[in-house]
């Protein structure tokens, strides 16, 4: 399986190349050169598989046995999911009024990112050990990515991780999950800025191709292809658990509601759809609504500011993975995608070509939710089911309740639940409900923390470069000592 850049100006790479690159050298994102098409027979065979088994099948298709033999692949994925709290790894809760919640949050950090990052970390370490190499992972986070990335690689001997978190823009729990990990290979910085602002020094560092190559840098943000690949399994699992029967011709649809910020889960759903999975996608966002405006009227432009909301992990201006969706829906038109994205980078505003916008609105429906809608939805779900939603899940469920109240006929619907309500006690309180906090999360309060400040007046790019160079010096010294 080969991967090409959405902008068409970079050499194609295999899965290992895409895994270690993050962004392609031309600024684009890697996508499979060709998508496997799955017929009825394959879908029927896959329909009884567990979530980990679905991940194994998808990875086998997109990685290839010449890079990771199937037996090794099975072991890596088994190890990746070994610390999940639920025996199914991902669990479907069936609630009142046709509400199906796909709980993606049974990993160590109580968020969906554990699923893709624990697998990605296993793939990384597999290749690094084979090649006797070291990488430094650089991550900017709006909340959950940082803690899940740290969890996936903490203590790994071939990986150091640098995380930039937006001070005061994460919940207290999210911050503690990052700052209480004191392993030598974990370096956490608290930035005086929001999640879009802290992406700037990361982009600046990655734009220096020679520096990236010299220090073996990589990103684990939602742009990494490996994360999108694992997230495709959510859509297959949702479909197979919610479809009434596979005996009908054609196969009946299932509506999958995707709450999103950077659009990684949405890109995964669009790819699954293109492969032949009969899902209808609904994307839901908070009032930072660039994706909603893009779907509705082709308006892919930044708002003046990021508005802080209860669904803080979705307080994002730039949904990077939309580039993958534009490329996919324009029939791999890399020239058109490049022109579109370069204009967006120059002017921070672009109108989609009519044809692309109509394809997008056919592939995806969208809705934007206010904080008021979020708290009302959390309250209603508790009242009807004694089930606590996190604010991000509530963004999806709010759409479901809209449809139920309008008595709209629809196929079975599955809402993706990206995080546990336990991570967002402030939002639970705002909804007039009582937070339920697991003991592991309560224990964070008593732990020692470590976090280096990046102040407004500091040169963030310079601090980042200096940290990377120091990590490299230590690794080189470690290798020399080991060989003496």
Catalytic residue annotation:
113
Q: How far is 352 from 155, CA to CA, in rounded Å? A: 45
**CB within 8 A of 383, min separation 6: which ones?**
none
Give the strand order in the sheet containing 186-191.
Answer: 217-219, 135-140, 159-166, 186-191, 452-454
Instruction: Decide: helix, strand or coil at residue 71.
Output: helix
Q: What is the DSSP letter of 419?
A: B
Contacts of 202 (CB under 8 A, 6+ apart): 138, 140, 164, 219, 464
The one-character DSSP state at 397 is H
CA dist 57 and 65 (Å) reads: 12
Determine how many CB atoms are found less than 10 A away from the CB of residue 460: 22
Residue 393: partners with Cβ closer than 8 Å, 6 or more residues away: 101, 259, 415, 416, 417, 418, 419, 421
Is residue 382 helix, strand or coil? helix
Helix (H/G/I), strand (E/B), else coil: 474: helix
């Amino acid at each position: 399986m080969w991967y090409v850049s959405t902008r068409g100006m970079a050499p194609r790479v295999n899965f290992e190349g895409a895994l270690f690159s993050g962004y392609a050298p031309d600024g684009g994102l890697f996508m499979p050169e060709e998508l496997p098409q799955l017929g009825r027979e394959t879908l029927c065979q896959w329909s009884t598989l567990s979530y980990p088994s679905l991940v194994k099948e998808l990875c086998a298709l997109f990685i290839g046995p010449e890079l990771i033999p199937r037996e090794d692949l099975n072991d890596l994925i088994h190890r990746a999911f070994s610390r999940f709290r639920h025996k199914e790894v991902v669990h479907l809760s069936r609630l009142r009024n046709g509400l199906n919640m796909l709980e993606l949050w049974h990993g160590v950090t109580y968020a969906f990112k554990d699923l893709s990052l624990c697998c990605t970390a296993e793939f990384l370490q597999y290749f690094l050990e084979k090649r006797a190499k070291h990488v430094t992972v650089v991550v900017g986070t709006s909340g959950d990515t940082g803690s899940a990335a740290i969890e996936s690689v903490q203590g790994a001997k071939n990986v150091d991780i640098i995380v930039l978190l937006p001070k005061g823009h994460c919940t207290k729990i999210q911050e503690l999950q990052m700052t209480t990990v004191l392993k030598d290979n974990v370096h956490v910085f608290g930035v005086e800025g929001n999640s879009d602002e802290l992406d700037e020094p990361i982009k600046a560092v990655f734009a220096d191709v020679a520096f990236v190559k010299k220090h073996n840098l990589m990103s684990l943000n939602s742009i990494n292809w490996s994360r999108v690949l694992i997230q495709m399994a959510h859509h297959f699992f949702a479909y197979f658990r919610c479809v009434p029967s596979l005996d009908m011709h054609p196969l009946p649809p299932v509506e999958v509601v995707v709450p999103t910020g950077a659009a990684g889960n949405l890109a995964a759903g669009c790819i699954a759809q293109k492969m032949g999975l009969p899902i209808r996608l609904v994307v839901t966002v908070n009032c930072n609504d660039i994706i909603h405006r893009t779907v509705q009227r082709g308006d892919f432009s930044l708002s003046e500011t990021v508005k802080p909301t209860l669904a803080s992990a979705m307080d994002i201006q730039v949904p990077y993975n939309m580039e993958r969706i534009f490329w996919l829906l324009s029939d791999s038109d890399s020239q058109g995608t490049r022109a579109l994205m370069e204009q967006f980078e120059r002017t921070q505003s672009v109108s989609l070509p009519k044809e692309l916008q109509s394809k997008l609105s056919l592939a995806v429906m969208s809705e934007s939710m206010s904080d008021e809608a979020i708290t009302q939805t959390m309250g209603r779900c508790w009242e009807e089911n004694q089930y606590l939603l996190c604010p991000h899940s509530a963004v999806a469920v709010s759409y479901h309740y809209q449809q139920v109240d309008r008595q709209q006929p629809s196929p079975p619907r599955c809402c993706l639940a990206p995080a546990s309500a336990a991570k967002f006690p402030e939002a639970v309180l705002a909804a007039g409900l009582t937070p339920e906090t697991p003991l592991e999360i309560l224990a964070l309060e008593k732990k020692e923390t470590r976090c280096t400040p990046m102040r407004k007046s500091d040169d963030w790019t310079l601090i980042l470069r200096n940290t990377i160079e120091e990590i490299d010096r230590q690794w080189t010294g470690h290798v020399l000592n080991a060989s003496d």
